[in-house]
Amino acid sequence: MYSLYFHIPFCVHRCAYCDFNTYAGQENLIPDYVEALCSEVHQVAVSAARRLPVHTIFFGGGTPSLLSAAQYGTLLRTVRGSFDISAEAEVSLEANPGTLSREALIDLRRLGFNRLSLGVQSAHPQELLMLERIHGYFDVIEAVRTARQSGFGNLNLDLIFGLPEQTLGRWQRSVELVLGLHPEHLSVYALTLEHGTPFGRWARAGLLPTPDPDLAADMYEWTEMRLAQAGYGQYEISSWAKPGNQCRHNLQYWRGRPYLGFGAGAHGYAAGVRYSNALRIKTYIEHIREKRECRFPLSPAAVDSHAIPPFIEMQETMMTGLRLTREGIGVEEFHDRFGLDLMDVFGKEIIELVRLGLLEWTKAGDSLRLTDRGRMVGNQVFMRFVG
């Protein structure tokens, strides 16, 4: 089964901490962009040896909610005409609170969207201002209410912790307020000060206090405890869900299964090849219009691609699979996929990380996963597998 990712690189305003491939003030390109996406879907689908089965579709960004329901209608018609979409497919849309009307949500639901992911980030007005978000917390409450009335039964809310000058109490208040909205899924990320963003530059110049890592660790630990208490099961380092509401699209990435990426800067992984498309919107549209013949899974917009050698694929499996906090890496699955025993390939690293208390075997001994302590230093654990 395949997954499809569509990148929608338009935002009303570029937030100071963001390093995603997204652009403000280019909304006039949206109609051409939608046309290019449809053309890309068609070109990739006809280059595949068969009609591919698809079980998840995800529109991320950027701010996907800047496209109209009519434009999504066109896109989904093209997708359904090009791939075999399963009847129970998860179809997700990322949206910024305050950018979706009730009418648009009803239309999107009718078109087949069944999961909505809202970038809340914080419930505190000062923090939202600092992050340069265009919404206030009341927009979040309104967006959730309208989404529910429009028939969305699967909502994810994104939150960011470890903000400059954020106190534990203020973070706890954000979490409590968001829990009051009863989302089915929560994604909780630590702020990272990326190079090339205003936040990164301000922090290096001493204009922005850098987040305190110990305090951020306390926030994460408290969040794990509080969300468990509220009935959310953690299934990935940054993801919690009510039973049955795990994000199937993201699971596809973490389990190392194939996905096709469409749009400017989109990444994909299929047929043993990783690839990425041209970043700039105009360049992407120009490439797609060239319609040159490409070998699956690439489209004319792909500017970088490489076949993944088996050992690199095994390393990537360790990095992404260990993010799955409950599931971890299945011994049998690893063997089925690579024809090798997990311990024969990574025995030295695993023995050491288990000894350090960062990895553990499940009771049945059939799966390897992070311990509570390992989750706090996940990146250091992953690095041990990539040398």
Q: Which residues bind ligand SF4 (CB under 6 A)?
A: 11, 14-15, 18, 20, 22, 61-63, 96, 119
Radius of gyration of the chain (CA): 21
Interior CA angle at 364 toward 323 and 232, to 5°?
A: 45
Residue 307 has which token pair?
């076949």
Nearer to ligand SF4, 14 or 248 (CB): 14
Residue 7 has which token pair?
């990148």
Nearer to ligand SF4, 125 or 153 (CB): 125
Question: In whole angstroms, how far apart are CA 276 and each of 63, 255, 258, 279?
Answer: 20, 19, 14, 9
CB 382 → ligand SF4: shortest distance, Å? 24
CB 116 → ligand SF4: shortest distance, Å? 15
Nearer to ligand SF4, 63 or 71 (CB): 63
- The whole-angstrom separation of Cα 325 and Cα 331 is 15
CB 193 → ligand SF4: shortest distance, Å? 14
Is 275 buried (19+), middle (13-18) or exposed (0-12) by CB count in 10 A? Answer: buried
- The whole-angstrom separation of Cα 247 and Cα 157 is 12
Q: Please state the separation of Cα 112 from the chain's center in Å.
A: 20
The answer to whether 179 touches 207, Cβ cutoff 8 Å, is: no
Nearer to ligand SF4, 99 or 246 (CB): 99
CB 72 → ligand SF4: shortest distance, Å? 18
CB 10 → ligand SF4: shortest distance, Å? 8
Residue 141 has which token pair?
């409450």
What are the residues whose beta carbons fall under 8 Å from the beta carbon of 387, sequence distance 6 or more? 315
Interior CA angle at 275 toward 263 and 55, to 5°?
A: 65
- The whole-angstrom separation of Cα 369 and Cα 366 is 10
Nearer to ligand SF4, 15 or 36 (CB): 15
Residue 154 has which token pair?
């699967």
Nearer to ligand SF4, 78 or 122 (CB): 122
CB 8 → ligand SF4: shortest distance, Å? 9
Nearer to ligand SF4, 42 or 124 (CB): 124
Is 1 buried (19+), middle (13-18) or exposed (0-12) by CB count in 10 A? Answer: middle
- Which residues is 234 bridged to in the sheet? 240
CB 133 → ligand SF4: shortest distance, Å? 7
CB 57 → ligand SF4: shortest distance, Å? 19
Nearer to ligand SF4, 160 or 319 (CB): 160
